[in-house]
Structure formats: structure tokens, C-alpha cells
Structure 1
């Protein structure tokens, strides 16, 4: 995501903090404004043009929580990241209830600040798009994995090279394909999708290449195929691994020669189509098994792009949750529910085997069942609540209310890691996969938290 047009307001009475944040954020291309008091901050915000705010809790005059309250009373949905040197969990909860985007403690790290800034400005952009009724085809998230994916797409899209999208079910392969089309020279031409797994084998050829009247039982008129419909544009062959061998032969010919015959016809038709294929299968294994043509695989696999699983996208779950709450509330014309910090932590800890599709379904359910209400751990689906600690109830805010914020976060992290290790009987590799972490990183966190297994 480009940050060159994103403007951030830093509000802190300590000049060194304002200078430090300005250097960190400005060095990454953000425009940084600052204010030393809550009163000055409100005046600056009233002028508009600010995408997100870093707001100190302890300020002279009106404090940060009061500033946050006034921002929300003015009907502003601008993301606000609260800053504190000595916060308690109660204060963090209060800030969240008032609509804070997140909470960061002093001393803060450069990486943490940049992640928060990217996620906050991304959320601001998403809110604007949802309000305008757009954004449904955007790739959401500011994690390193998504930044790399966008860079790869932006590099490949302007060319006519064929692309093979690979990734687990529910990761958003169609969204990637649509972005490739939208950024290509074919953007004003058709984008056509065909799901090879959803069409019966005996009909896939007619679906792809069309058919003439009388070609088969029920063919009462000439039928245009998907290749012809996509002429000049882009054709997405989704779940290409499920295509029949007979259809594979005809697809290979189109890729080689740019022409095909409709079913029942001897007349060749020429087309100019960019083909993007997508699959969750191991096509190399399919080639070895004899269920997928090797020559077709090589033709399709010009530019392979791997779509990251949601568990590999650090920090993106929170952004996606915010986006889907907004979008589903708007779609169903319902008041938005408020997720408590504990509920958000559980959503972030879930491994999401169904990826974005699973997350969206869960959020839609929450929006419908708890419109306008507060959503804590007990309102979440059992499969999410049950992941934290086997055999015990999920952690709630009350489990940590007597602890300073840093200690509360460490306790929650210890509980999450301990629960994953319990579920996998001490197997660190499986626990790391469950938590969406690298094995080496989990070892480091276990050592830092004093967890021995």
C-alpha cells in the first residue's frame, strides 16, 4: 500500500516523542502533523485531511480519552491509536469502548509503530470505500506478506504473461485475478471467470468453447463459450486442476495457437485472451499422477503467484474484522456490533483454516446475531472460543483487569501459546502452525515468556 498520501496527526505533550514519531513515520513516506495538547489536536482535526491519529493518554488540559470521546461525538470514524507509558487494562478497555483503533505502550518499537500506522491508514481507506459503496474487490491488509503480493501483482499486471495463482481455498485468488485484470492494458475489456470444478465434465467443453445448435441434447441454439466472451480481455480458469483431460487438450491449443472450434463445429475461431489459472491443488503431483497435462502446466505456469494463507498475514485479521463488520452491517442495514478486546484477541489467535471466506462468514453471523450490541468471547462461535486453552473457558477481560497492560498482554500470550502446546501434546512445530508463527519465532517467545515444554 502506498503511504505517500496518508496524513497522520501525532498528539503528545513530550517534544521528543513527537520528534521521534515524526522521524519514524516521515521516513516511510507518511505526512506527519503534530500537536502538543488535546485542544490543539481537536482544532487541527476540524480542518480535515487527517487519515489517522496517534494520541497520548496523558495530556495537559483535556486528556487523551476525553479527546477520543469528542472525536467520536463529532461522528468522526478516523482511526485513533492510543499511546501510554503506564496504562492499565481498564484504561485500554475504556479506550476501546470509545472506539480506539489500537493501543501502544512507551517505549515503543519502530516496527510496531509502522505496523499500526499502515493498518490504521488502511482502515481509514476501507471506511471511505465502504461509505462510497466500493472496495469490494480490494486486497485488504498491510502485512508484509500482502505488501509482497501487491508488489508482485503490480509488476506482472501490465504484461500479457499468463499467471498461475496458487493458494489454499478461501485466500482470495479471484480478487488477485481481478486486480491483475484491473491494472492491465485489458482493463476496459471483459473479465470472465469459469469455475472448472463446478461444471459437469460433459459440459465443460461447451462452457469454455461454446457450441453450435444441435451439437448435443438440449443445444437448441448456438452458444457462446467463455473464451469468446473474454476476447480482448482476461479469462480466469478457477480450479484448473479439476478440468478434464479432453478439455485440457483444447485449452492447450488455444494457448498455443489462439484459436479453437466450438463443440459441433469445424470452423476455427480466433481469440486474444489473457489466461489466468487458479488452483489449491498440487499440480506437479497431478502431473506425476497423470491427471494433468505437463505441457499445459508449463504453458500456464509462466508467472506463479502464491496467495498467503490468513494465518501467515500478521496483523491483518484485525483490519479484516473491522472491514467486514462495516461491510456486513451496511449490507444487512444493521447497527454495527462492538467487539471487546478479548473477543478481538480470540479472533486474531484463531488459525482460520477456511481463511478469509471463513472469517467473513463468522463476522456476518456476529453482525446479524448481535447488531448494535457488545460482543465478548462468549458470543463468538465455539470453534474460536475453544482454541485458547483446552478444557477451560476462553479468557475474558476480567481475567486480566488487575494487571498493567504489558503484563496482561504477556499473560494472554502465555495462555494462547500454552493452549496450542496442550492441544498438540507439546509438539512445537504443530503448535507454531496452529498459531500462525514460524517455529523459530515460537521458540523465542516461549523462552521470553518462560514456557518450558
Structure 2
């Protein structure tokens, strides 16, 4: 039996184009010219897909989107907008539309959208969501809520702006949105926007033609082409140069790119997910980020909570991280004493899950007898007051200092203090630090403290 589509538009030419295109894809169409006819059709049968124009004689496409979201949530609905009417498209996406197409309709864009929509299956998504619990670990309310939002966002093509502190797992969240969605069989392409030299950004994003500039000895595919049919994740998007922001906005709106040195545009079908630890709205106010691009990326905002807001998940995370580290290092998984777990649960974790991973990796080196004790963690003397408010005197890190190097500095200082207090007697210093002489020698070499 063929798939069923509901097509809603009061323009005969659009109805004919859509029904012919869908019929060529073995999809049977039911047509409606207004909201009333569409509502009646939805009551009479179920549909695998719906297209609706935004302007209808007795209402608008948003009415259809909201009705389907409320009463027929398993039916993806795409809206048809006038060319350049991005505001209405964004409003439709926020209301729950799967995607949008602009007039005049491009057949390739239309077919790509249909294929993505039909790849969605409630059962498949449910199974994938169950497996995602193994990746986004936690049983607290905030993590359950996050997983639920991820599942809903996976059924859309709307751009998602992922916010949260450094180390919370924003790329992991982006990957899950991709893996649970209709694009999971295609590529997930992450890019750190702050890591590309300004003069190479356009070429990295859109590719280039041979001879486009000095050093362009052959054609090169860009990241948009690499992600075609899949998802492009723009990490640290706030670091994009302003000139590139203009070109990115156009690529997103037109769903087309032009390689550097090329004469023709090429259609691309990518879903855009973005993230940054910066306050992007503040970047807009300061003139560092284009407001129109901000609203195009920030169609839906998804907040990833810091670790301190889900302390009850820490024991589960510790167990998982230790298993991973032991496997990676070819070692037996160490145990961890109760006092150490309690200390971790009371710590503020300014570096979030990434800091927890670093602390545990360091503790495995310090530990003796395959058991991690509280002192092996080497935590700063700070505690959490509650789940939201802290009275913590944390050192200020410069933008050029990452968490790992900061932790190494702390470790180095502790070792130097112990050595100085024992007049550089390494055996006595190791005893004072509560580690073996072998572990101390390893640390001295790693931290460049060896005499």
C-alpha cells in the first residue's frame, strides 16, 4: 500500500505540482483547499505526511501545524512559504512543523524533504531513544526532561541552538538529535568554528574550485557537501567571522552554496545544529554576531544542565567513566570508596562532566591497590551549597587556559609543596602525598619536575 499525503493549498498550480511529484514517489495524495477541508480529511484517515500553504482562505498553515501537533503528532507537516518569508517559516518550525519549502518550489528540495519525513517512524524512534539512555546517562528529572526534548527535536528539521557551560556535553546532545532523527543514516559533521583560520573559513564550509586561490591545486569538497543529507554541527558558532556569518545565513535560507571560485550554486540538504558556551544574545548586542543569523539559528533553544544541577547522577557517571578509562588503558576497572563518591557529589564541578573525567583519570594514576580513595581525587576544598547557588571561591581562568592545563598546575603545585616540605626527599614526599614512590616518579616526569 502506498504512503498517504495530505496536500493543502488554494492554488491549483501548487496542488498539481505537489501531487505529481508525490505520485512519482509512489505516494497517494488527498487535497484540500482550506482549513475546514483539511480538518475533515484528518478526521477521516491517517496520513504519513502533510504539506500546507501558509495562507489559506479560512485561516493559515500555523492552524494546521498546531492541530496536527496536538491530535496527530506522528504525522510530519511541512509548510509552504512565500520566497524570502523566513519569519513565517521560523514561526512554523517553533510551532512544530517538520520543515518548510519556499515558493517557487524546487523539485530536488521537495523530494529531499519528503524522503526525510518518511524516514521517521514512531517505533524506530522509540527504540533509538531507549538506546540513547546508554549515551546520555542519568536518572534525574533534568536529564529525563533533556532526553524527552531531544526525542521531540529529532522529529523535526528545525535548527537547534544548544546552550550550556563548557564540558556539559553539547556535542553529545547534538549527536543524539541526529541519531534519533530521519538523517541518522547520513553523516554527522561537527566543526569547531573557532579553530579555523578566518581566511580559510569560507573554503572549509563551502569548498573551492581548482585555482580559486594560491594553493588551491584541486577541487575540494566543503563541510556542507560532506554533511549533505545529514547534519552539520557548528560548535562555538559565536567565533565565526562577521563576513562568514553573512554567507552562512544565505546558505541556510537558500539551502544552496557556491564553492569559492565557482560560478554555479549547488543545492545542499543539511540540518543545522549549533552551540557555544558564550552568551550569543550578548554577542549580538556587542555587534560581534549578526542578529538575523542569531534568530535563524536560534529557532529552538535547548539548554544542557551543568553537572552541579544533577548531583544524583554522579555515581552512575563515575561507574561509566571508570569502565571506559579501564578499557582504553587496558587495565582492570578500579573500585572507588564511598568517601570518594561523597566528595564528588559535594563538589561544584565548574568544568562539568569533562572535569569529572579528568579528575577520575588522574585519580586512577594516583590510586594504589586498584581502589580510588578520597585523597586520590585531589579536589579543591569547595562544596556545593545547593543545586543552584554556590559560594565557591574559584580561580579565574584566562580564555587561553583550558581546564586540563589548570588541573595540571594544581597537581604540580601540590607535588612541589610536598617536595619542599621534605627537602626534596622523594620517598618522604610520596608518603606525605599518600602515593607510591613509582607514582611520584611518573608524575614528576609527566609534569616536567624531574631533576
The interval holding the TM-score normalised by the smaller chain is 0.5 to 0.7
Q: Match of 1:172?
A: 169
Q: Match of 2:281?
A: 284
- Give the TM-score taking structure 1 as reference length: 0.55
* Alpha-carbon distance in structure 1 between the residues aligned to 2:312 and 2:361: 20
Aligned-residue offset at 1:216:
2.2
* Alpha-carbon distance in structure 2 between the residues aligned to 1:189 and 1:199: 24
Aligned-residue offset at 1:386:
2.3
Q: Does 1:319 align with 2:316?
A: yes
Given candidates 329, 339, 344, the residue that maps to 1:332 is 329
Q: How is 1:238-387 mapped onto 2 (pairs within 5 angstroms)?
A: 238-370=235-367, 372-381=369-378, 384-387=379-382
Q: Match of 2:391?
A: 431
Q: Does 1:231 align with 2:228?
A: yes
SS at match of 1:331: helix
Question: Any stretches of 5+ residues in structure 2 without a counterpart?
Answer: 1-130, 395-451
Q: RMSD of aligned C-alpha atoms?
A: 2.3
* Alpha-carbon distance in structure 2 between the residues aligned to 1:432 and 1:291: 31
Moved over 6 A (4+): 134-137
Q: For CA contacts below 8 A with separation 6 or more, give which structure has more relative contact order.
A: 1
Aligned-residue offset at 1:429:
5.0
Question: Any stretches of 5+ residues in structure 1 without a counterpart?
Answer: 1-133, 389-415, 421-427, 435-453
* Alignment CA distance shift 1:324-1:429 (3 Å): closer
Aligned 8 A contact 1:165 1:279 in 2: yes
Aligned-residue offset at 1:150:
0.5
Aligned 8 A contact 2:158 2:271 in 1: yes
Aligned-residue offset at 1:385:
5.0
Aligned 8 A contact 2:210 2:216 in 1: yes
Q: How is 1:108-187 mapped onto 2 (pairs within 5 angstroms)?
A: 138-187=135-184
Q: Match of 1:394?
A: none
SS at match of 1:315: helix
* Alignment CA distance shift 1:259-1:226 (3 Å): same
- Give the TM-score taking structure 2 as reference length: 0.55
C-alpha distance after superposition, 1:172-208 (max 9, x if no partner): 0111001000111111111111110111111111111
C-alpha distance after superposition, 1:385-422 (max 9, x if no partner): 5225xxxxxxxxxxxxxxxxxxxxxxxxxxx76xx9xx
* Alignment CA distance shift 1:136-1:359 (3 Å): farther
Number of matched pairs = 263
Aligned 8 A contact 1:215 1:264 in 2: yes
Q: Match of 1:220?
A: 217
